[in-house]
Structure 1
Amino acid sequence: MAATPPALAFDGLTEVVAFLIEIDKLKSIQCRTKVLGTQRQENTAEHSWHFAVAVMALAPYADDGVDITRVTQMALVHDIAEIDAGDVLVYDLAGREAVHAMEAKAAQRLFGLLPTPQRRQFHELWLEYEAGETPSARFALMIDRLMPVLMNLHNQGQSWIENGITLEQVLTCNAFIADVYPALWTHLSRHLQQAQQQGWLK
């Protein structure tokens, strides 16, 4: 007969379940990009999954100082604050600045549902990603910015066209990719120029 787990093993389980149920709301937060081949908008939970898989796929191209496990964890938690704050277009600089305090408050509330050890772990991951200063965070930010660009390049510029985005906006917003992965930026820049020629970017 299996030994009965000690009561301590279940400490905090109620809080963990409450957190897991609360973050299900992320599936209802819509991004601006549509799922390829459909007219349905991608939701933020789908984006986070795609981001995490991209981290695994691009791991061989990361610098030695990048902790891929930590980057994957950032991918999974980086947008949880959108449950309270909503999604703001990355090119809407004023909107992103205005929502920053709301996101910080949301992160405290949502991660605060967890028991102390997990609360600290999740919040530290979120803060590291937001600061974008460590090699792991910069690699994470690079992939997070890369994904919607790739989606638009394979979706006839759908969200760029719908939101009136210019080539200059995309180049300026994503230029830091050149510091993290120069060869990728050279590749993307060429395709972005072609996207403008095709009328996908102003």
Structure 2
Amino acid sequence: MSSNTPMSLTNPKAVSTIDIDDITHFLLELDALKRVNRRSYVTNTTRKENSAEHSWHLAMACWSIAELFELDINHETLLKMALVHDLGEIDAGDTFLYANVRSDAHIEERSGIARLQCERGNGISELSAIWEAQETGSSKEAQLLRVVDRLLPFLLNINTNGKTWIELGVTRTQVASAHVFIKESFPSIHDWLSKNIEYATERGWLINA
């Protein structure tokens, strides 16, 4: 026989040590990722996507591709990696893939993650570890994440007539070089990328250099 009496979701002993103000403060810290604008434009709009939107898109895309390719990976780990992937940008901001300072972006992002890890309202004890695993690790989950993280902005560029590439003067060689690593792990995706790099160059969206 069912009951309409609500069931408590919390452990009374644990609740006594929790400050809800700390929790809500941490949640607002996470909300700041919505204010970090990326370079890619959202399809069928005139606005750029933010990093929180990209994180959601990344998680969903990774999940779907992992299922379609029947990859032997830990889905929970993969989705956690996708969700924390850009959190460091709350402090560091987004660094364009082809920027000269791209190789140093992880330094400030790592500091931002460390700050979030130390927030009293953060209940994710492994936040820094998961971020580090996706940033520097070589697991199957981290490898897939890197592939999809490159695929998505490329996809947006192809479907917005190369708007970002044109605005920032991106070359065919830059794009090809940034995606060459995908050939080994996902040759079918790399083939699709290569064909569309050719198409974008022919359309004048990428500088033929």
TM-score (norm 1): 0.90
Provide the rounded CA distance (Å) in 2 between the counterparts of 1:118 and 1:10. Answer: 18
- Percent identity, aligned pairs only, is 34
Q: Contact 1:74–1:126 at 8 Å: present in 2 too?
A: yes
2:57 equivalent to 1:53: no
TM-score (norm 2): 0.87
Pick one of 96, 99, 105 that aligns with 1:99.
105
Q: Deviations over 1:140-182 (max 9, x none)?
A: 1111111000111111011111111111111111111112211
Question: Structure 1 residues 155 and 107 mapped into 2: Cα distance closer, same or farther (>3 Å)?
Answer: same
Q: Deviations over 1:11-68 (max 9, x none)?
A: 3454433221111111110000111111111111111111111112212244644222
Residue in structure 2 matched with residue 26 of structure 1 by the alignment: 33
After TM superposition, give the deviation of residue 126 of structure 1 in Å.
0.5
Q: Contact 2:23–2:122 at 8 Å: present in 1 too?
A: no
Q: Deviations over 1:47-95 (max 9, x none)?
A: 1111111112212244644222211111111101101000010111x31
Residue in structure 2 matched with residue 108 of structure 1 by the alignment: 114
**What does 1:123-134 correspond to in 2, within 5 Å?**
123-134=128-139
Provide the rounded CA distance (Å) in 2 between the counterparts of 1:70 and 1:182. Answer: 24
Runs of 5+ unmatched residues, structure 1: none
Question: What is the number of equivalent residue pairs in this alignment?
Answer: 200
SS in 2 for 1:139: helix
Runs of 5+ unmatched residues, structure 2: none
**What does 1:130-149 correspond to in 2, within 5 Å?**
130-149=135-154
Letter of the structure 2 residue corresponding to residue 109 of structure 1: R
Provide the rounded CA distance (Å) in 2 between the counterparts of 1:116 and 1:21. Answer: 11
Q: Contact 1:33–1:159 at 8 Å: present in 2 too?
A: yes
SS in 1 for 2:39: strand
Provide the rounded CA distance (Å) in 1 between the counterparts of 2:98 and 2:49. Answer: 18
SS in 1 for 2:201: helix
Q: Deviations over 1:90-139 (max 9, x none)?
A: 111x31223321111111001221568613x2111100111141111010
Question: Structure 1 residues 10 and 144 mapped into 2: Cα distance closer, same or farther (>3 Å)?
Answer: farther
Question: Structure 1 residues 13 and 173 mapped into 2: Cα distance closer, same or farther (>3 Å)?
Answer: farther
What is the aligned-residue RMSD (CA, Å)? Answer: 2.1
As a proportion of its length, which structure holds more helix? 1
